[in-house]
Amino acid sequence: MSTRWLDSYARQHDYLRISITDRCDLRCVYCMAEDMTFVPRAQILSFEEIERIARIFVSNGVRKIRLTGGEPLIRPDIISLCKKLKAIAGLEELVITTNGTHLAKLAAPLYAAGVQRINISLDTLKPERFAQITRVGKLEKTLEGIEAARHVGFSRLKLNTVVMRGYNHDEVLEITQFALARGLDISFIEEMPLGDVGRDRGLGFFSSDEIQALLANNYTLIQSTASTGGPSRYLQTAEFPNSRIGFISPHSHNFCSTCNRLRLTAEGRLLLCLGNEHSLDLRALVRSTLDDQAISQHIARALINKPQQHQFTTDGEVQVVRFMNATGG
């Protein structure tokens, strides 16, 4: 692997997350405010620009790309983008994070286009709660999407569940059972303080340790050696050995020392850290006369400024003004 994508803390970056749109058909209470202004379409990277940037990253050692958003599956013709990215020599993994509302129709074409794994967000199994947490969504659409994906052949499917006290913390066991019974992985996520979403996030904090304690009362938990190269720490259960239970715990178990990822926003800002604003305007570079090598050099220099870690706290303060839909998690 190339060693060019190193930051000042000797972290190697082999994983790029690309937000292909900041728009979404849902308005999850932890992700967005009720009223959102989205980036004008002309400012969004074109598929050709995304493909070029992806090639530059892969030629410098990136091996995994995740498409995210906003909701990536609402961008028209996403299948053609997946095919283009999949064709990049050297890319080992193309994966997607979605809310699942369009998966019923897109699961098969995504698989055929070469997408290997999908993460699907699911925070509740109760229809009225789903409508409350997503502000506008219908649970059955996401459940239909999960079913469709299960029958297509993806190597692994994972549920992502943001756990918030007072919203869904009492459903941890039920959602876990839903995942395990279907051979799905599941990751529980501590809510991160990105953007003013109009509620006090501090009141909703529910730690990964509390979740683990709940699970320990119901399953025989085993430490898993599995790693997807990300911030998740994994457990397995003796009862359902095919599934992994992950914890993404920005508050209770800082994972910054092993950070291997960079994020590209829909308007082409290369964000060096989810919890800080240090970034590089890649759209300006790809719309200039610079060649790929010159752009690579700009990225390598920017990486030197990657902060050591985020400074998230659970006191309910907004710490980063940007909302999560801008960067895709």
What separation, in Å, do the N-terminal and C-terminal C-alpha atoms of the chain show?
Answer: 26
Question: For the packed helices 139-150 and 127-134, what is the interaxial angle rounded to 10 degrees?
Answer: 100
Whether 224 contacts 234, CB under 8 Å: yes
Rounded to the nearest angstrom, the gap between the alpha carbon of residue 76 and the centroid of all alpha carbons in its chain is 20
Contact between 264 and ligand SAM (CB under 6 A)? no
Residue from the set 21, 60, 97, 207 that interacts with ligand SAM by CB under 6 A:
97
Contact between 215 and ligand SAM (CB under 6 A)? no
Binding track over 105-134 against ligand SF4, x by CB under 6 A? ----------------x-------------
Element (H, E) at 128: helix 127-134
Q: 230 vs 329, which CB is nearer to ligand SAM?
A: 329
Binding to ligand SAM in span 60-79, by CB under 6 A: 68-69, 71
Contact between 96 and ligand SF4 (CB under 6 A)? no
Q: In whole angstroms, give the CA distance from residue 24 to residue 162.
A: 17
- The option from ligand SF4, ligand SAM, none interacting with 189 (CB < 5 to 8 A, set by class) reads ligand SAM
Residue 281 CB, nearest approach to ligand SF4 (Å): 23
Please list the residues that pair with 97 across neighbouring strands: 119
Sheet holding 221-223, edge to edge: 221-223, 233-237, 244-248, 185-190, 156-163, 117-121, 93-98, 64-68, 15-19, 261-264, 269-271, 279-281
Binding to ligand SF4 in span 25-84, by CB under 6 A: 26-28, 31-32, 69-71
Residue 328 CB, nearest approach to ligand SF4 (Å): 7
Question: What residues line the site for ligand SAM (CB under 6 A)?
Answer: 24, 30-31, 68-69, 71, 97-99, 121, 160, 162, 189, 191-192, 194, 324-325, 328-329
